[in-house]
Amino acid sequence: MKVAVVQHTICENQIEWNLQQITSLFDQQSGADLYVLAETFATGFMAEDATAHADVQGARILSWMKQQACRLDAAVAGSVAMVDEDGVLRNRLYFVRPDGTFDYYDKHHLFSYAGETKDYVAGNRRVVVEWRGVRFMLQVCYDLRFPVFVRNHGDYDTIIYVANWPQKRRDVWQTLLKARAIENQCFVIGVNIVGSDKYCEYLGDSVIINAYGKAIAQCTSGEVGTAAAELDMDELNRFRRKFPVLEDAD
């Protein structure tokens, strides 16, 4: 399983510009089975226009994800501000397959510090999707700080974290990604943006980490780009059998 992380900038509310940039980055990293984008990758986090027009914009972004998944013959994952069937706003992480089918996870831990709870409604379920022999747990940004919700019960192999994580909390991002990989004996994929918005500066530090807590692929800090790694399931399963952390868990 080849996974590519796509580290990009976000021009707030400039959906078409953002999607064009990301399409170009996809083409720089061909042949992956899965491409992972950041949180609210097409609009920016809590962008006012995205919140106000999430019904139309969310549908447009999901359509683009389906087109790209088909074109690349790969899954595409990333979060979108989306109005659901009940008319409420969700920070929704889509996992889209080449045939147009998809699963989704609604961000469970909304970022109250920045006011996300004022407009968005939290999800209440864990979501694991299987793709080409690998099971992925879907998570969004602030979820990274809450290990109990994501505790591995033997039901997944990889956690995906998509984020808009600021430079000033860079050490937390890097430390907790490693911790989640080690304690859950799994791969961790962390994708963050670069650049700046009216709130923060972002360095990216997008990375793929193995179950030993070691980075096996990473983007250059502060730069737009991609990185890719093979998720070796045979190696992961050998490690789990040899050192049965999950079987000994509380």
The domain spanning residue 114 has which CATH number?
Answer: 3.60.110.10
Q: What total of structural domains would you count in the chain?
A: 1
Q: What is the pLDDT of residue 49?
A: 60
pLDDT computed for residue 44 by the predictor: 87
Radius of gyration of the chain (CA): 17
Which of the residues in the chain have pLDDT under 70? 47-53
Domain that holds residue 155: 2-248
> What is the reported pLDDT for 84?
86
Predicted pLDDT of residue 127: 98
Q: Residue 55's pLDDT is what?
A: 77
Q: Name the CA dihedral angle for 109, 181, 183, 141, rounded to a multiple of 10 degrees.
A: -10
Q: 34: Cβ–Cβ under 8 A, 6 or more apart, which residues?
A: 1, 2, 3, 4, 74, 75, 76, 77, 131, 136
Catalytic positions are 39, 107, 141
Answer yes or no: are the C-beta atoms of 231 and 217 closer than 8 Å.
Answer: no
Residue type at 58? G
pLDDT, residue 50, reads 58
Residue 67's φ and ψ, nearest 5 degrees, are: -60, -45
Strand partners, 130: 135
In the sheet with 158-162, reading across from the earlier edge strand, the strands are: 128-131, 134-140, 158-162, 187-191, 207-209, 215-218
